[in-house]
Amino acid sequence: MKSIRCFCENKNLPAGYYNSVSISGNGKYQTLVQRAQSDATCPQGNLMTSSDGGKNFTMRLQGLNFTGVAVSSCGRYQTAVVQGNSITSPPELGFIYTSSDFGKTWIQNENAPSNGWYGVAVSGDGQYQLALPNTYKSPPNNGFLYTSSDFGQTWIPREGPGEQLWLNGAIDVTGKTQVAVVFGTLPPDGGDALPGHVWISRDYGVTWNTVPSLSDYFTCIAISSCGNFVSVGAQNCFFAPAIPKPLYVSSDGGINWLVLNSNTDNWLSIAMSGDGQYQCALSYKQEPDSVLSGYVYQSEDYGKTWRRNESLPQKEWTSNAISKDGKVQTLVATLCGGVYQQQERRSREVCDILYLPLSF
């Protein structure tokens, strides 16, 4: 059996509706965002930043329905997205917010439209960025993915892939290879969405193509610094309990894929270290409560094998982030969940975690 350092809940942060987390390459700068919930019973709708490795956080923005956040490798450039909802009356507005001073000050971007934004990603230096809307909540003709090549100042809709139920994306360190996942495609006559696809751009986000061999209800994606390792998770929320879905892993930039079938889990978030060796995937917690879901799985061999982290509780996990060297990891949960962080230095007796293999 293998071991890995443990995670502990950050007691300096209150429970909340955490939806996304992103950290710098060295883990020093960390940013958390929460969704806004009408029936919230704990803190929600906030953006918080840390400059001391996630020990302490400062409130930066409040009262917004944040869904995604991305931090550049050095931490200087940060981008967060607020999900609007065009189907409410009156429509709820959603915007892109950017920071160029390590998360201290934030500016609402006036060059990007109000949209149903959900996911966001940035390159290593922050120059190339990707923002993804959920077309179901976006105004007509606005469900295209958007890219920026000037540190998030101006945004261009990429109409080639069409309007989609985009969820999440990732960018390699150079910005040349960008990847994004579609949960599904809404049929013209209504009804449940059809399975979505994985999309890849190899020219800094200008043109996009699907991975022809993959079709599923994709939710999350991660890419290594050089772009050779790509991992994708799927989840079908049209069923209760949801039908188990696999993890898809590529070691050649998304050309060939290893399908790791799971007997129990669906996936909401996945992250990896710079070289792709250390990876972490979060299982979707089923409702009503299921003893077989809502756990954290980790890999130390580039996504080939995965094991459940038995030290972490069953939670409504939503997002995770890993530093370049894999030594700093932060996980967040929603529905009055908390923030959990990997401990860097503790005794072996306290910190080592035994891993039980998952039946992949």
How confident is residue 349, by pLDDT bands cut at 50, 70 and 90? very low
Give the pLDDT score at 237.
77
What is the mean pLDDT of the segment spanning 267-287? 95
Q: What is the mean pLDDT of the chain?
A: 91
- Give the DSSP H/E element, type plus range, for residue 199: strand 198-201
Name residue, tokens 């077309």.
135
Whether pLDDT at 352 is above 50: no
Contact 30, 78 (CB under 8 A): no
Give the residue among 262, 244, 258 at the shortest CA–CA distance from 302: 258
The percent of the chain in helix, strand and coil, each rounded to the nearest 5, is: 0, 40, 60
Q: What is the mean pLDDT of residues 183-209?
A: 90
Q: Does 188 have pLDDT greater than 90?
A: no
Buried-state track 269-283, b at ≥16 Cβ within 10 A, e below 16: bbbbbbebbbbbbbb
Which band of pLDDT confidence, cut at 50, 70 and 90, is reported for residue 291? low
Q: Alpha carbon 138 to chain centroid distance?
A: 20
For 207-238, the pLDDT digits (tens) are: 999 999 899 999 999 999 999 999 999 998 77
Give the chain's domains with CATH numbers: 3-357 (2.130.10.10)
What pLDDT sits at residue 44? Answer: 96
Q: Which amino acid is at 60?
A: R
Place of tokens 């898809």: 248
- Per-residue pLDDT tens over the stretch 87-143: 999 999 999 999 999 999 999 999 999 999 999 999 999 999 999 999 999 999 999
Q: Which phi and psi (to 5°) does residue 119 adopt?
A: -110, 160
For a pLDDT cut of 90, what percent of the chain falls above it?
81
Task: Give yes or no for a contact between 76 and 86, defined as CB atoms under 8 angstroms apart.
Answer: no
